[in-house]
Amino acid sequence: MCAAWLAMPLPSSAASFPCEKARTDIERAICQDKDLSAFDEYLGRYYSAARLRLRHAAQCLASDQKAWLREVRDTCKDGACLKRAYLLRLSELDGLQPGATALKGVQLPRTPTLVGVLPPAQDQVAAPRRPGLKPLSVQGKLVNEVSTGDGYVVISKDGRRHLVVSLMFLDDSTAVLDSLGREVATNYLIRGHGETGMSDPEAFSQSTCRYIYRVPQ
pTM of the model: 0.89
Q: d(Cα 84, Cα 88) in Å, to the nearest integer?
A: 6
| The pLDDT of residue 135 | 96
* pLDDT tens digit sequence for 132-189: 899 999 999 999 999 987 899 999 999 999 999 999 999 999 999 999 999 999 999 9
Confirm if 177 and 137 have CB atoms less than 8 A apart: no
Residue 68 CB contacts under 8 Å (≥ 6 apart), including other chains: 89
What pLDDT shows up at residue 200? 58
Cα separation of 106 and 88, whole Å?
A: 12
In this prediction, residue 198 carries a pLDDT of 59
Cα 143 to its chain centre, rounded Å, is 20
Report the share of the chain in percent with pLDDT over 90. Answer: 73
Residues contacting 80, CB < 8 A, separation 6+: none
**Rounded Cα–Cα distance for residues 136 and 81 (Å):** 27
- State the amino acid at position 208 in one-letter form: T
User: Which residues of the chain carry a pLDDT beneath 70?
Assistant: 1-15, 18, 198-201
If 0-12 CB within 10 Å is exposed, 13-18 middle and 19+ buried, where does residue 195 land?
A: buried
| Residue 210, strand partner residues | 118
